[in-house]
Structure 1
């Protein structure tokens, strides 16, 4: 894999931190379950199939289509819609095997194109999100002998209500390239 410049990242149910997409998907499923289960939270397992179906058939902005369409290459049809399609299929049941094979190859190529388009849409969405995030970051220039406060990001995991997350003041003793500084 390194020959082609591909890096392998392990993502399992036991370590979802490696994939932000897993967390986003789980958050979406959780939101659907919260709305459908209501007061009786014991019945969440009964509603899980419906929640998964709703999640897979809902339009996702980052990929520009539904996950169902991304996997199967077709829009999802409800059983009532399928009844009409069955009558159409019965009329055209005697297909030529060569024509059917060519049609299937065309469908598989269209599915690959759809997946490529979803990948490109995802990259565009991520670039826009990054651009919005970066536009809100203030560029700070630090000099030697400046006095600064240090933000303790670990404290929010084990937060105490009235304890401040800022410590200091500290004095900058050295400024390294790319924004790294040494404090005393």
Structure 2
């Protein structure tokens, strides 16, 4: 979780809470205000997802945090035109229900040989590199636009 440098996020109690739930804490630099804005935007998205998941019973938000993180990671982001999951792993996310089908049955149904999936994975890796390059360029363009607007407002 990326946080800004507010003192409440630096307390021992909060660090212990994060450790108990497997949350990795990262802090944005005070010298990069865009980073703070990105952290707040991401946190706002997570909060909206948690609200939608919980609806009636809001007491168990901590139990739904992992689901919210998963939903956020597989959601396509406007800035990069893909999901963070897809950028990291090079494939679209599959729901756990999709993994119930054993690999052997899948290969038989699709009529694939063992060398074919390996060949397809190599193609996916090449496409993944291209996709990351395009996403990086889009992200840089968006950051320049954000910087321009930020600088324009603060002149």
Per the normalisation by structure 2, the TM-score is: 0.61
Larger Rg: 1
Between the aligned partners of 1:120 and 1:33, the Cα distance in structure 2 is 31
Higher relative contact order (CA 8 A, sep 6+): 2
In structure 1, the residue matched to 2:74 is 57
How many Å apart are 1:57 and its aligned residue?
A: 1.8
Unaligned runs of 5+ in 2: 1-23, 30-34
Q: Determine which structure has the larger helix proportion and give its number.
A: 2
In structure 1, the residue matched to 2:107 is 89
Unaligned runs of 5+ in 1: 1-11, 139-184
Q: Is the 1:70–1:111 Cα contact (8 Å) retained in structure 2? A: yes
Q: Determine which structure has the larger strand proportion and give its number.
A: 1
Between the aligned partners of 1:92 and 1:72, the Cα distance in structure 2 is 25
Within 5 A, what are the aligned runs for 1:37-48?
37-38=54-55, 40-48=57-65
Q: Is the 1:16–1:23 Cα contact (8 Å) retained in structure 2? A: no
Instruction: Describe the SS at the equivalent of 2:28.
Output: helix
Instruction: Describe the SS at the equivalent of 1:104.
Output: helix
Cα RMSD, aligned residues only: 3.2
Within 5 A, what are the aligned runs for 1:1-184?
13=25, 16-18=27-29, 19-20=35-36, 21-38=38-55, 40-78=57-95, 89-90=107-108, 91-96=110-115, 100-138=117-155
Between the aligned partners of 2:59 and 2:82, the Cα distance in structure 1 is 33
Between the aligned partners of 1:117 and 1:128, the Cα distance in structure 2 is 17
Distance change in 2, residues 1:94/1:23 (3 Å): same
The aligned length equals 124
Distance change in 2, residues 1:78/1:135 (3 Å): same
How many Å apart are 1:66 and its aligned residue?
A: 1.0
Distance change in 2, residues 1:57/1:118 (3 Å): same
Distance change in 2, residues 1:104/1:80 (3 Å): closer
